[in-house]
Amino acid sequence: MDKIFVANLDDIKTDTLLSKNINGHKVLLSKIKGQLCAVENRCPHLGLPLAKGEVCDGAVVCPFHGSSFDLLSGANVDWTNAFFGMPMPGWTHKLIALGKSPAALKTYKLECEGEQVFIHL
Ligand code: FES
């Protein structure tokens, strides 16, 4: 497992997403409840980027179909409940899912050395 510099500690803000491409790995960094976290910048629904999603209650909300994922654990919180930011009625959620089952986001381990943050890939 490679340990690679990813950002300075000051660059990672609370409830905000910082997008990085590290050796071809697209990741999102954030700070939730004082804890640093890193997840894959790829929604498990259709593989689209999550970087423009909002952070709400410690979860990133996919800007495409509203699935949300806990940024600390990667766990799926909600699945395909919207269409480009517009909430959709419950009966449409399975249609929007296009046959894909809820899945978690990949998470990465981070490590601080002084003011520098490293990711384990
Ligand atoms: S691509 Fe993210 S919910 Fe569809």
Mean pLDDT by 10 residues, the chain (121 residues): 94 97 96 98 98 97 98 98 94 96 97 97 91
Task: Please state whether the predicted TM-score (pTM) of the whole model is above 0.85.
Answer: yes
Quick one: pLDDT at residue 1? 78
Quick one: pLDDT at residue 25? 95
Closest CA to 55 of 76, 69, 73, 40: 69
Q: CATH code at 106?
A: 2.102.10.10
Closest CA to 54 of 17, 105, 14, 99: 17
Our CA angle for 78, 61, 10, nearest 5°, is: 135
Q: Whose CA is nearest to atom 3 of ligand 1?
A: 65
Q: How many domains does the chain have?
A: 1
Closest CA to 67 of 76, 53, 83, 79: 79
Residue 79 lies in domain:
3-120
Pocket test for ligand 1, best of 28, 42, 50, 65 (most atoms within 8 A of CB): 65
**How many residues make up the chain in this entry?**
121
Ligand 1 lining (C-beta closer than 6 Å): 43, 45-46, 48, 62, 64-65, 67, 80
Q: How far apart are CA 106 and CA 11, in angstroms?
A: 22
